[in-house]
């Protein structure tokens, strides 16, 4: 039996880039007339020019934070879908509310690869504990299980006693759901005298999976792998047997950008995850997830050749209110662009004598007083707020994607 879902996972990186950008151009040329919001996002862009990542970076990022307002203006999908509402398979709703479409194509959410990497195989029985009520989570995992050839128990969350009865009777050998609920099920089944011995593999998502929880679940005899997914995009990246980061899913083009900007960052730098989804029903283009991560250098030891994410590293939306005014990471980036010779910047917000205080730390090889003065003027001109300037050595600020650090006491 193959170690891979298909041969696409192991193709050379250059071949993947050529194929994906060719598919992107075809999808956009077809979708642009049918999706008004997509057409606006592509204003001034010649689709034929989109041959590589550098060209893609000319397109503005559409952030998830913008989607709620867009959907209110143009319900339900903000003019970003190409398939009529009545021709979709499901019309879904996530908290916000944000509405999500699902089309009819096989494994529409791209979950098959993640399920396969977690050890799911044809003939397995999957206990799917993600919610089937309005939200996409359960359908994402179910589509992947079906793509692999598994049967699915549509359990949903909660109802622990009923879940234990189902496990005892139906003997699923695989689990899909949050990692903490998996631990609850395993513990409660033991307490009830009906240990869930049939469960041996799991694909978990939707919650933190710290090493302590990984160890506790492994000690119960279950090998659990993580997947990173969103309701808008389906599976973005997934863990493999190498346990060396998350392999980026096929069917998407993933970038890491400086928070609050459209600017891609070099591999290894922490920034916002931005995804272009190669999907004809819902061709999201440079969609900012609001999550932080970084690219790990090199290919996975498992043999899959796509890029790897370090995993979830926090949220990118660092917009912070200072003295009653919002300061945005994009404003700090605007200051940085006026001084291109500098390294990383971080705005520290503290509180002294019942007053908000801003301090901009900037990595610099020069510590000249006129540079600090110029940065102070640029900061005030950009934010309409005064702030102190601290010049620090290059490489001294953490590589964690944080542009604004709110260090004021809670409350």
> Cβ(114)–Cβ(249) under 8 Å?
yes
Q: Is the predicted pLDDT of residue 371 greater than 90, yes or no?
A: yes
What's the pLDDT at 352? 85
% of the chain surpassing 90 pLDDT: 83
CA 1 to chain CA mean position, Å? 31
> Cβ(135)–Cβ(109) under 8 Å?
no
What's the pLDDT at 267? 96
> Cβ(305)–Cβ(10) under 8 Å?
yes
What is the bridge-based pairing of β-strands 388-392 and 355-363? parallel
Q: Supply the angle between the helices 211-219 and 179-191 in degrees, to the nearest 10.
A: 40
What's the pLDDT at 384? 86
What's the pLDDT at 64? 87
Highest-scoring range by mean pLDDT, 229-238, 316-325, 398-407: 229-238
Distance in angstroms (rounded) separating the CA atoms of residues 201 and 190: 17
Rama region for 141: left / alpha / beta (φ>0; ψ in -120 to 50; rest): alpha
Alpha-helix residue ranges (DSSP H) falling in 171-305? 179-191, 211-219
What's the pLDDT at 1? 54
Q: Is the predicted pLDDT of residue 284 greater than 80, yes or no?
A: yes
> Cβ(169)–Cβ(100) under 8 Å?
no
Question: Which whole number is the average pLDDT over 30-46?
Answer: 97
Distance in angstroms (rounded) separating the CA atoms of residues 59 and 306: 23
Average per-residue pLDDT for the chain: 94
Distance in angstroms (rounded) separating the CA atoms of residues 104 and 45: 30
Question: Which whole number is the average pLDDT over 145-161?
Answer: 96
> Which tens digit of pLDDT belongs to each residue from 192-248?
999 999 999 999 998 888 899 999 999 999 999 999 999 999 999 999 999 999 999
Neighbours of 267 (CB within 10 A): 13
Distance in angstroms (rounded) separating the CA atoms of residues 206 and 159: 19
> Which tens digit of pLDDT belongs to each residue from 326-349?
788 888 989 999 998 899 999 999
Q: pTM of this prediction?
A: 0.84
Q: Is the predicted pLDDT of residue 354 greater than 80, yes or no?
A: no
DSSP 173: S
Q: Is the predicted pLDDT of residue 275 greater than 70, yes or no?
A: yes
% of the chain surpassing 70 pLDDT: 99
Q: Is the predicted pLDDT of residue 313 greater than 60, yes or no?
A: yes
Distance in angstroms (rounded) separating the CA atoms of residues 62 and 43: 13
260, burial (CB in 10 Å: exposed 0-12, middle 13-18, buried 19+): buried
Q: Supply the angle between the helices 369-383 and 329-337 in degrees, to the nearest 10.
A: 140
Question: Which whole number is the average pLDDT over 245-274?
Answer: 95
* Domains defined along the chain, listed by start: 7-309 (3.40.50.12780), 320-406 (3.30.300.30)
Question: Which whole number is the average pLDDT over 37-44?
Answer: 98
What's the pLDDT at 411? 52
Note the maximum CA span of the chain: 75
Q: Is the predicted pLDDT of residue 316 greater than 90, yes or no?
A: no
Structure confidence at residue 306 as a pLDDT band (50, 70, 90): very high
Which token pair is 194?
């009906």
> Cβ(201)–Cβ(195) under 8 Å?
no
Neighbours of 122 (CB within 10 A): 9
> Cβ(62)–Cβ(286) under 8 Å?
yes
Mention every residue, 6+ apart, whose C-beta is less than 8 A from residue 68: 96, 97, 98
What's the pLDDT at 264? 97
What's the pLDDT at 410? 65
Q: Is the predicted pLDDT of residue 176 greater than 60, yes or no?
A: yes
Structure confidence at residue 27 as a pLDDT band (50, 70, 90): very high
């Amino acid at each position: 039996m193959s170690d891979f879902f298909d041969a696409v996972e192991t193709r050379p990186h250059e071949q993947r880039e050529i194929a994906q950008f060719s598919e992107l151009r075809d999808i956009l040329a077809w979708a642009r007339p049918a999706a008004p919001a997509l057409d606006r996002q592509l204003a001034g862009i010649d689709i034929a020019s989109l041959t590589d990542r550098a060209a893609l970076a000319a397109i503005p990022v559409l952030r998830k934070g913008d989607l709620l307002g867009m959907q209110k203006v143009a319900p339900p999908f903000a003019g970003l879908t190409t398939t009529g509402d009545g021709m979709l398979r499901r019309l879904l709703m996530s908290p916000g509310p944000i509405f999500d479409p699902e089309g009819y194509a096989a494994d529409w959410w791209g979950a098959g690869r993640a399920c396969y990497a977690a050890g799911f195989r044809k003939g397995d029985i999957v206990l799917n504990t993600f919610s089937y009520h309005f939200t996409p989570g359960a359908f994402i995992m179910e589509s992947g299980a079906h793509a692999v050839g598994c049967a699915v128990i549509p359990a949903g969350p909660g109802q622990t006693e009923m879940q234990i009865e189902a496990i005892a009777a139906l003997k699923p050998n695989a689990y899909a759901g949050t990692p903490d609920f998996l631990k609850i099920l395993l513990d409660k089944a033991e307490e009830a005298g009906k240990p869930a011995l049939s469960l041996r593999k799991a694909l978990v998502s939707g919650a933190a999976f710290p090493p302590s929880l990984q160890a506790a679940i492994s000690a119960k005899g279950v090998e659990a792998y993580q997947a990173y997914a969103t309701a808008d995009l389906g599976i973005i990246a997934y863990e493999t047997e190498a346990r060396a980061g998350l392999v980026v899913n096929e069917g998407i083009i993933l970038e890491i950008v400086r928070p609050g900007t459209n600017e891609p960052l070099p591999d290894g730098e922490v920034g916002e995850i931005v995804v272009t989804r190669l999907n004809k029903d819902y061709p999201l283009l440079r969609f900012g997830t609001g999550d932080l991560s970084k690219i790990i250098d090199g290919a996975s030891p498992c043999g899959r050749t796509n890029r790897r994410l370090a995993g979830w590293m926090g949220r990118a939306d660092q917009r912070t209110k200072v003295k009653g005014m919002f300061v945005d990471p994009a404003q700090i980036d605007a200051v940085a662009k006026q001084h291109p010779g500098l390294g990383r910047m971080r705005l520290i917000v503290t509180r002294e004598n019942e007053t908000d205080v801003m301090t901009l730390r900037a990595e610099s090889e020069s510590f000249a007083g006129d540079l600090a003065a110029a940065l102070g003027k640029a900061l005030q001109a950009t934010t309409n707020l005064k702030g102190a300037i601290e010049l620090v050595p290059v490489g001294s600020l953490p590589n964690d994607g944080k542009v604004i650090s709110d260090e004021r006491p809670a409350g």
